[in-house]
Structure 1
């Protein structure tokens, strides 16, 4: 028998003691000689198809297998098409990640495993402001006025905001990563693809687990699970985890640790078998994050005060960030999140028709106060604090069934969200003075200080006063959708899938930018004015009532839907409606029992929205059209899975924000820009058990992503140039398992990921994204290797493991230019170092 466990799916087999440890689907026995003959024919068929399909590429890394016997079939069940299907029968490029693979990588959240999923990139240096990218497409805006291009779903429930899109892993069954537009089945804002996280559900037997993990940097992670049947029809499943780690860096001035982790999470699920045809599951989830914000590592030499670094900075003079002392003086450095969610899933079987209802309420609050200058100088101080409050309600109803040759699903959904955001900035009048001088507007505070206050012996100062500017946003969003999807079995081997979704979005968005807040400065100015001192300089307190960061004066006169125009201190409201129909057509054909060919046409949609830091600015709808063709193949006697897919897409009206100078302003601000992007490429997947104890896996993506049309505000034409996405990314590895005579087993896994060099265009060169400095490299090739060695007892109750992540300590630099042209203080972030440790798991 062949019983395999793919590296992306939870496996539980029934052992002699009756404990369910692996979920297997056993097929029928076949004559050994006939099976060998069939396999030989299939191999020849596949080689012919591969040779004639030039641009086909492979799909996702689902897993690999652990052969136990020579004659049994297996099946990997996924729900990518809102139906339970064998992974190899689904004509979509999918990569599945199992709970075992998550454990082997000692992963805390999805960003830890994304590097082993070519085509998916999750940047979570700030977990309350992460970004998801699939096949080179992501949303660059961090505000609540727009939506992501990658849909994230937990148990079928949409996670609308990035602030709640990277949560701690706890009791995960599997993760399905779907590449390409998923508008028909998953809906709006999955134009690039979808990430579906499936948690484990309550079962009708007692289960318990306790895991403790310790590592370097004083890493401590404890996770517990308890599943308890309550009578004949109820089951309760509760899990919780606690994670803490010391900082990776140390402040050179204070000695304080930077970049510390601290979070805990819990989930409770109650399942009720109401009848043989009806069940309901009520789930509560809580996530609490309370840690340091990411540090800013300065890369320019700062002369002694009152000297200033050059503006703009010169990349050739940048320092090596791995060797410089780190100075972060942000006030109340923190990144926090408090999230609660309740969901109710009801399933009822009407016989030939299955009904499902998913209801969810979610509420969370986040804050992220970061250093933005990488110094400890008061005249160069600048920090930002992104604060969000969000409450949402989601409801989906669907019917599914089979009528003759037709497998169909129809459904409708409703989403209601209230999102509030404050983009908070804080600095001191010393820094305001520095900035004004650097952009050619004079140095008013030091001029008055040195020209009047000090010579006249006035016991007052205009320096050292706090200066706050904030943009307040509130969004009220509603979305209605109806969808249908039909799989027609034209014959035993040929299937045609046709589906579509209609979506209607209604959005109301408000901006409010009040006057800057500097109460101690204003009090000092009023006092100086009353003494007649300001009059000696020919100025009044009103001359200091200006905005430095959120200067909206260039937008004055633009109309708002609530009457009036853009005015400081007055709310501006825009109301917009968006609609879209996203179809898909798929043809798949089984040339043999285990070889599937498919071709598809799909469209995706991302709703329009608003730039949260630029009043009265808006995004239009984004649309993507994707063509895909591929082959999924399984050679059972060779214990081999080999999948290929090729794709071509055009992404129209892609909105992004970039730091630039608005008309009439000397201070850089985030501005809206639009482009049409295009890409073609391929995905490849291999999972192979050449011998019983050895499993090999490999996944690769090749992509050529360019701007079909893009002209920047400075008239720089990037059309035809690379978007920056690396051409090649891959992940591969092996797992070897040795079974001792007593039944216990020793397993070793090595996994390696590779990401190619970031591609340059004229803008990235001008911005210094791929810096010309010799002190360090940016956009370079990235490699990472993870290892794990574990021992598991015969009854699988005990496991002891040792792990190493990024064992060769490959670290990479990304540059942030937020304050480069105003303060001369560009800074960098550095990727994580080598992590190592061990864990103990007890199941009962």
Structure 2
């Protein structure tokens, strides 16, 4: 059966997974068709793609793309999308409080935050089927055929549109030859990974394949309090496929898969100056003030919140150890246990009609995840989500249908493609976030600390006393009760303080958010061959997106409405009164919402497209310039805190539209060149991407908000960098893009001899917020929590990244056995890991080196390999964040990256 290039959206790599004969005799003027027909004798660096709807050599395609072969994926130990960052310099994948929240970034741009209402800026496809969020691919993928990473806005070639790029993963397909294989791995942390599969022809026209993976490993964190480990691995995958090829022109591939994870994730440690030297007590405890000199660490007792934590049960060892000491101290009985199920079925039909071909991809997927957490990440019981089936959860049910028709016209002067895409996604998010048994006492301590500069100074003693039920020193509280502090408001403040201190194990009893998204699009992508060396590519897409939203809340926090009645009338009189009410109702956790339902809908229409002019001055050199416009849908903030400020919140005044955020659009420009021969190849790209309504999810101290970041063409006089939410508005006519990503990329390979390959990638990206920032496209002022953003780089967006690898596979003897030596490295420059860019969340640059050495093709069947990831055991973080509820005294916590892992793998095939 002839090889088919079924996807018109992504790359197909041929010949990269085997050691091939040199192609020194290949003529320089050999055509693309010649290369394709002779792919079995073309060097491994000649890569065949279908990125523009026809089979081409990768070096001839005017698209910024990184292509990773099965061989490289195997050598690098890549089993999920997070590990692709070691191979692609423009890609960064990280995860935070739940692996379902994993986020991919390309050229510094990605979805920021854990809110499932935000779609992924980088779309992920597996076998042509869209995964609803990029975090859904943080799981075992099984045997892979190839991975393609397309950079920049996408959409005119099919599938789901994306504003920053696409990761397209292709699993190993069935073939018409019998093969069985197995692999066993053992590594440190008692890691055991077993993989096995069977491929068999069932007839001359039907082939089937079954693959399975099981992976179990101890966790990287040691929970000292509960005597368990966190961030472990306990997962498996089963995938079955059938390939039906009744004729050379018709092919149908049916795929069904099921995967499950039963793991505890994700713990965090306190940030110390060994990670971030600026993680220190700031003058006046202003979290936005850069610390001066050798100020004490945030976990020092000089930070007044630290004695409170210790007084309420925090083990001092957790506050004195290194950021990267993986002993953690969480609340007794609290758990990070969770479970994830991901399964689906898809069918891909390819039908050739001479000069025309039809492709249909149909997919249905379900994704379920629930996760418990000690959400304050301290030993004090402040905030938690219960583990188990009733825990916080998210569920996606997604049906997608894609049709493409492609062909040629006008004597092959035009390669045309038209298509349509439909997706129906049902998302349900359930949340049971609750205040812990010590919440009331802890936040009462925060208010006591706030009175220290005045009341404490006059009494000559500490106001906060964690040994007291309301955390006030009896003498100090007596002064408050006497009326000496609050005067006429004392009758309201004293009972409100006692009410606040009594909050224990109340909050969410089951908030349920439902969102139904219906998306359809029509698109076309056409290549006009103006001359033999000059092409013009024109693509256009129309997308319609409708989202229907409803939510029902459950809550048993009766202290909030009680204190609202007491403090509400005077909340505007002082920051202390507002803080007292805010802490009583934090995150809009209030019994006033119990049983309340809301609903809303939004509809979007968007045209996007691309234009590319490419020229080949010589057979080995391609140059191009492109323009494109991309789009990511708006949606709803699936968090009750965003319904309003807890101080002024009113159920009667709930406006569901306040949860909406606008669609994100991008205008992109790119110039590039690609040069390729057998021995050497290089691709260069320069780009600029301007984002309007950039979707940023962050916590401002009271609300988990989604801010559509834009800029103002007129000066705001520094009002976007002050502490006021009322200043810094912009006239609508002056609203301009608020985020710009620009830079240069280089990828190169060198093959001096047949068995030795080198690769190098280098990306310089300036992904920055503009100056004069505003909060949305109507000119609303920027939230004060984001006042460090103007003019600075985006979070998790290093300016400089370099990757490199060397692969040496020398023959050993005459039996066909080969040696294997593989080494790759990723150098990452400095970057800030916090979405608010607070000082102290900066990650210094680092280098990660992975390697693999072994013998392969032993007796034409076996291989044994030793491998290591993070060879030099480099400590670094994925994300640093404000420890919940410890503000404004500001203690940070961090989700750590993986330490060094190593092991041995034995493979066999039959």
TM above 0.5, yes or no, is yes
Aligned residue for 1:516? 556
Distance change in 2, residues 1:483/1:760 (3 Å): closer
Correspondences of 1:310-325 after superposition (within 5 Å): 320-323=322-325, 325=327
Aligned residue for 1:570? 596
| Unmatched 5+ stretches in structure 1 | 1-7, 14-20, 40-66, 452-460, 526-542, 557-565, 662-666, 771-777
Matched, 1:610 2:633: no
Aligned residue for 2:401? 395
Aligned residue for 2:721? none
Q: In the aligned structure 2, how far is the partner of 1:82 from the partner of 1:436?
A: 64
Q: In the aligned structure 2, how far is the partner of 1:785 from the partner of 1:476?
A: 43
Matched, 1:672 2:643: no
8 Å CA contact retained: 1:10, 1:22 = no
Give the secondary structure class of the aligned counterpart of 2:72: helix
Can you list the C-alpha shifts for 1:396-444, whole angstroms capped at 9, x where unaligned? 1111111121111110011001100023313324213322442569999
Distance change in 2, residues 1:423/1:82 (3 Å): farther
Distance change in 2, residues 1:107/1:187 (3 Å): closer
Matched, 1:756 2:791: no
Q: In the aligned structure 1, how far is the partner of 2:120 from the partner of 2:326?
A: 36
Q: Which moved more, 1:677-686 or 1:385-394?
A: 385-394
Q: In the aligned structure 2, how far is the partner of 1:109 from the partner of 1:278?
A: 31
Give the secondary structure class of the aligned counterpart of 1:435: helix
Can you list the C-alpha shifts for 1:808-835, whole angstroms capped at 9, x where unaligned? 0001134221413179653222211111
8 Å CA contact retained: 1:341, 1:363 = yes
Q: Which moved more, 1:508-517 or 1:607-616?
A: 508-517
Q: In the aligned structure 2, how far is the partner of 1:100 from the partner of 1:755?
A: 24
Can you list the C-alpha shifts for 1:609-664, whole angstroms capped at 9, x where unaligned? 1111124321111110111111111133xx10111111111111102121114xxx
Q: In the aligned structure 2, how far is the partner of 1:163 from the partner of 1:758?
A: 22
Distance change in 2, residues 1:23/1:479 (3 Å): farther
- Partner of residue 800 from structure 2, selected from 728, 733, 745: 728
8 Å CA contact retained: 1:594, 1:633 = yes
Aligned residue for 1:790? 854
- Partner of residue 421 from structure 1, selected from 417, 423, 429: 429
What TM-score, normalized by structure 2, do the two folds share? 0.75
Aligned-residue offset at 1:515: 2.4
Q: Which moved more, 1:737-746 or 1:326-335?
A: 326-335
Aligned residue for 1:307? 311
Q: In the aligned structure 1, how far is the partner of 2:889 from the partner of 2:507?
A: 16
Matched, 1:487 2:527: yes
Give the secondary structure class of the aligned counterpart of 1:128: helix
Give the secondary structure class of the aligned counterpart of 1:418: strand
Aligned residue for 2:744? 682
Aligned residue for 2:880? 815
Aligned-residue offset at 1:516: 2.8
Q: In the aligned structure 1, how far is the partner of 2:369 from the partner of 2:44?
A: 48
Q: In the aligned structure 2, how far is the partner of 1:88 from the partner of 1:178?
A: 14
Aligned-residue offset at 1:492: 1.4
Number of residue pairs matched? Answer: 736
Q: In the aligned structure 2, how far is the partner of 1:762 from the partner of 1:340?
A: 32
Aligned residue for 1:550? 587
Matched, 1:781 2:845: yes
- Partner of residue 585 from structure 1, selected from 607, 611, 623: 611
Aligned residue for 1:626? 668
Can you list the C-alpha shifts for 1:759-794, whole angstroms capped at 9, x where unaligned? 699952xx3343xxxxxxx41102100111021126
Can you list the C-alpha shifts for 1:443-470, whole angstroms capped at 9, x where unaligned? 999359999xxxxxxxxx9686455455
Q: In the aligned structure 2, how far is the partner of 1:625 from the partner of 1:246?
A: 45
8 Å CA contact retained: 2:147, 2:167 = yes
Q: In the aligned structure 2, how far is the partner of 1:286 from the partner of 1:207?
A: 22
Q: In the aligned structure 2, how far is the partner of 1:482 from the partner of 1:841?
A: 46
Q: In the aligned structure 2, how far is the partner of 1:361 from the partner of 1:96?
A: 27
Aligned-residue offset at 1:608: 1.1
Aligned-residue offset at 1:206: 0.8
Can you list the C-alpha shifts for 1:149-187, whole angstroms capped at 9, x where unaligned? 111111111111345232312121000000111132245
Aligned residue for 1:643? 683
Matched, 1:92 2:47: no
8 Å CA contact retained: 1:212, 1:840 = yes
Aligned-residue offset at 1:239: 0.3
Matched, 1:660 2:700: yes
Q: Which moved more, 1:673-682 or 1:283-292?
A: 673-682
Distance change in 2, residues 1:12/1:75 (3 Å): closer
Q: In the aligned structure 1, how far is the partner of 2:844 from the partner of 2:344?
A: 40
Matched, 1:245 2:217: yes
8 Å CA contact retained: 1:187, 1:501 = no
Aligned-residue offset at 1:512: 2.6
Distance change in 2, residues 1:818/1:471 (3 Å): farther
Distance change in 2, residues 1:432/1:842 (3 Å): same
Can you list the C-alpha shifts for 1:587-627, whole angstroms capped at 9, x where unaligned? 11111111111111111001111111124321111110111
Correspondences of 1:12-23 after superposition (within 5 Å): 22=18
